[in-house]
Amino acid sequence: MPVPEPGPGEVLLKVGGAGACHSDLHLLEVPAGARSFTLPFTLGHENAGWVETMGPGATGFEPGDPVIVYGPWGCGLCMNCRQGIENYCQTPGKPSPGGLGGTDGGMAEYLLVPSTRYLIPLGSLDPREAAPLTDAGLTSYHAVKRSVHLLGPGSTAVVIGAGGLGQMAIQVLKALSSATTVVAIDTSADKLKIANTMGADEELVSGDDAVKQIKDMTHGQGAEVVLDFVGINPTLTMAAQVSRMLGHLTIVGLGNAALPVNFNSPAKECSVASPFWGSIPELIDVIALAQAGKIKMLVEHFPLDSAAEAYRLLHDGKIAGRAVITPND
């Protein structure tokens, strides 16, 4: 791709790392007629790197500064955007994240970032390692944040799907509430082993047995917080079965199945939400957590030429943590 020229207020980023997210696999499956982008299109919505050049009028950063890029680009002017909640921009058609529909993403040597407000300084963190913090990290952080008040001593949080996002969620749960028992559920024994190294207290194979064990652990009550990072029928069913009265059930995975909600299921007054990404202030929190050594992504690097291979491995469940494409290595 030609190197883009930053216009007024824009920034040209030299890409250090661009994470391969499972959402990209969902995007690749969208039928041609329903696409929100035109081909050729560059993927990569989980980006970090170094400031290359500042467009006319853009200030506050110097060439060479290591930065991470906030992904859901909103209008910047609506009530939500002005609070940094650009993931819930109120302007129709927004947010339009680069690499996820709309403009090109970060799986290229250079990425055009529309505004300096999307750049968060990384300090001593390496962009190649840090890139997943801006989606896997931020999305998980935001999903956990809505439930922190439920995570007191003796509480239980269930993480379904211990892949890129789930592994981050386990660490965030432990960082924000060390008193919470974190239960990881996955179909893969390898992922469950990794979940343990990330701080999970219990690792369970996905299915009916997991439901029974969580019920036993919680004296029949269920878990205060259930986070589903898959979102298919079997996982939503499990999530509802282990939900607790007055608890939270949070659907993050884009498996696109529907959760039946009626008087008896999920548990009474359990609130269900489907959050999308996170806010700019939350990304600043996530970077602070990483700088403090409280959260760290398990990263595998791939040169740009091997990006397709990275997606193949992700599709087959063979990426241990997160695949990160490094276009300038």
**Cβ 55 to Zn ion shortest distance, Å:** 21
**Cβ 113 to ligand NAD shortest distance, Å:** 19
Look at residue 75 and give the partner it binds from Zn ion, ligand NAD, none, a contact being a CB closer than 5 to 8 Å depending on partner kind.
Answer: Zn ion
Q: For ligand NAD, which is the closer residue by CB, 105 or 161?
A: 161
Look at residue 186 and give the partner it binds from ligand NAD, Zn ion, none, a contact being a CB closer than 5 to 8 Å depending on partner kind.
Answer: ligand NAD
Look at residue 89 and give the partner it binds from ligand NAD, Zn ion, none, a contact being a CB closer than 5 to 8 Å depending on partner kind.
Answer: Zn ion
Look at residue 177 and give the partner it binds from ligand NAD, Zn ion, none, a contact being a CB closer than 5 to 8 Å depending on partner kind.
Answer: none
**Cβ 227 to ligand NAD shortest distance, Å:** 10
**Cβ 218 to ligand NAD shortest distance, Å:** 19
What is the Cα–Cα distance from 132 to 142, expressed in whole angstroms? 14
Q: For ligand NAD, which is the closer residue by CB, 14 or 248?
A: 248
Closest CA to 169 of 135, 144, 202, 206: 144
Long-range CB pairs of 101-104 (<8 Å, 24+ gap) are: 101/27, 101/35, 101/36, 101/37, 102/36, 102/37, 102/73, 104/1, 104/41, 104/42
Could you tell me if 244 and 220 are in contact, meaning their C-beta atoms sit under 8 angstroms apart? no
| Residue that has been written with the tokens 């799986």 in this structure | 107
134 three-class SS: helix
Minimal CB distance residue for ligand NAD: 163
**Cβ 136 to ligand NAD shortest distance, Å:** 6
Look at residue 168 and give the partner it binds from ligand NAD, Zn ion, none, a contact being a CB closer than 5 to 8 Å depending on partner kind.
Answer: none
Q: Is 105 in the site for Zn ion (CB under 5 A)?
A: no
| Residue that has been written with the tokens 């970060």 in this structure | 106
Q: Which of residues 130-149 bind Zn ion (CB under 5 A)?
A: 135
**Cβ 97 to Zn ion shortest distance, Å:** 9
Residues touching Zn ion, count (CB under 5 A): 9
Closest CA to 27 of 105, 86, 83: 105
The residue ranges of DSSP E strands in 3-56, in sequence order, are 11-20, 47-54
Q: Is 25 in the site for Zn ion (CB under 5 A)?
A: no
Could you tell me if 11 and 119 are in contact, meaning their C-beta atoms sit under 8 angstroms apart? yes
Q: Is 87 in the site for Zn ion (CB under 5 A)?
A: no
Report the alpha-carbon angle 307-129-176, nearest 5: 125
What is the Cα–Cα distance from 298 to 170, expressed in whole angstroms? 13
**Segment contacting Zn ion by CB under 5 A, of 26-34, 58-66, 82-90, 170-178:** 82-90
Q: Which of residues 174-233 bind Zn ion (CB under 5 A)?
A: none
Q: Is 23 in the site for Zn ion (CB under 5 A)?
A: yes
**Cβ 19 to ligand NAD shortest distance, Å:** 8
What is the Cα–Cα distance from 10 to 7, expressed in whole angstroms? 5
Enumerate the H helices of the chain as residue ranges: 22-28, 79-82, 127-130, 136-145, 164-176, 189-197, 208-217, 233-241, 280-291, 307-315
Look at residue 277 and give the partner it binds from Zn ion, ligand NAD, none, a contact being a CB closer than 5 to 8 Å depending on partner kind.
Answer: ligand NAD
**Cβ 160 to ligand NAD shortest distance, Å:** 5
Q: Is 89 in the site for Zn ion (CB under 5 A)?
A: yes
What is the Cα–Cα distance from 225 to 213, expressed in whole angstroms? 16
Pair of tokens at residue 38: 């035109």
Which residues lie near ligand NAD (CB under 6 A)? Answer: 21-23, 26, 135, 139, 160-166, 185-188, 191, 206, 229-231, 234-235, 252-255, 275-277, 314, 317
Q: Is 74 in the site for Zn ion (CB under 5 A)?
A: yes
- What is the phi/psi pair of residue 196, to 5°? -65, -45
| Residues within the interface to Zn ion (CB under 5 A) | 21, 23, 74-75, 78, 81, 89, 91, 135
